[in-house]
Amino acid sequence: MMKKIFILFFGLCSSWANAQYTPSNAHSHNDYLQVLPFGLAYRQEFGSVEADLFLRNDSLFVAHEYGEIEPGRTFEALYLYPVLEACRKNGGSIYPDKSRQLQLLIDLKTNYASALPALVKVLEPHRAYFYPQGTVKVVISGSNPEPQHFSDYPEYIFFDGRPEVNYTDAQLKKVGLISQSFRNFSQWNGKGIPVEKERQVLSGMVEKAHRQQKPLRFWATPDTPNAWKFLMNLGVDYLNTDKVNELGQYLRHRKAHEF
């Protein structure tokens, strides 16, 4: 019963749940580097987007490196305002289908001690749109507080966990996602299939996250249809990609027997 609730709750579709993958399982890695940040993944109905944030002069900027910060490319302009506009258009939900969520994965590149309070300040007036009240789930990655301090932050702030960390039950309630680098477990290039030993290790990471009732994402994965298929068969909940349009179309039009 708890597993069924978890599947419905997150709106995810993974092989461990005997369900079909959709664009809800797609994660736009470094989404701000796309020609249309947020908008491209949103048009493809992705379930997750990622933005790297730097704090400079009390403003949150979206950039890959500190030296690449550009005026006007703020978190509010590229993500917060478009998210709010979509929610208002859809009667408070991020997508017209009110059962669907969007994970907003925010990778803090500036120390959380200063960056996270600045982020909370801009999110707070709009907390009704953020999970658990709304359908946009904010998950903090990158510079994070220690797990024992997760509860110091508002209810709509969740954290990106790691499979090797043993969280308490209270800490797990604030973990929105389990992530790790694919390269920590495999050097597979996406051609053919990984060696069985590596597959078993990867599968173990997925199974552990699911026992904790958390979705799992690997980053630094091969970004090809063959790799997407392997990750789906493995039960990975979010498929990491830089190829937003390609993965969106693949998930939307793939045949059931290709699973």
Q: Kindly report the pTM of this predicted structure.
A: 0.91
Residue 171 lies in a domain: yes
Q: Which CATH number covers residue 33?
A: 3.20.20.190
Hey, what are 215's tokens? 């979705």
pLDDT band for position 1 (cuts 50, 70, 90): very low
Residue 45 lies in a domain: yes
Residue 234 lies in a domain: yes
What is the tally of structural domains in the chain?
1
Please write the tens of the pLDDT for every residue from 184-220: 999 999 999 999 999 999 999 999 999 999 999 999 9
pLDDT band for position 255 (cuts 50, 70, 90): low
95 near 129, Cβ under 8 Å? no
Hey, what are 83's tokens? 């998210």
Residue 202 lies in a domain: yes
- State the Cα–Cα distance between residues 108 and 241, nearest whole angstrom: 19
- State the Cα–Cα distance between residues 96 and 34, nearest whole angstrom: 23
Which residue stretches of 44-104 are H helix?
Answer: 75, 81-89
Residue 29 lies in a domain: yes
Residue 5 lies in a domain: no
**Which residues are CB-contacts of 239 (< 8 A; sequence separation ≥ 6)?**
21, 25, 26, 27, 221, 228, 231, 232, 247, 251
At 224 the pLDDT is 97
Any idea which residue has 């299939």 for tokens? 193
Quote the domain boundaries for residue 168.
Answer: 23-247
**Which residues are CB-contacts of 16 (< 8 A; sequence separation ≥ 6)?**
206, 207, 210, 235
Distance of alpha carbon 249 from its chain centroid, rounded?
19
Is the pLDDT score of 164 beyond 80?
Answer: yes
**Which residues are CB-contacts of 205 (< 8 A; sequence separation ≥ 6)?**
163, 178, 180, 185, 216, 218
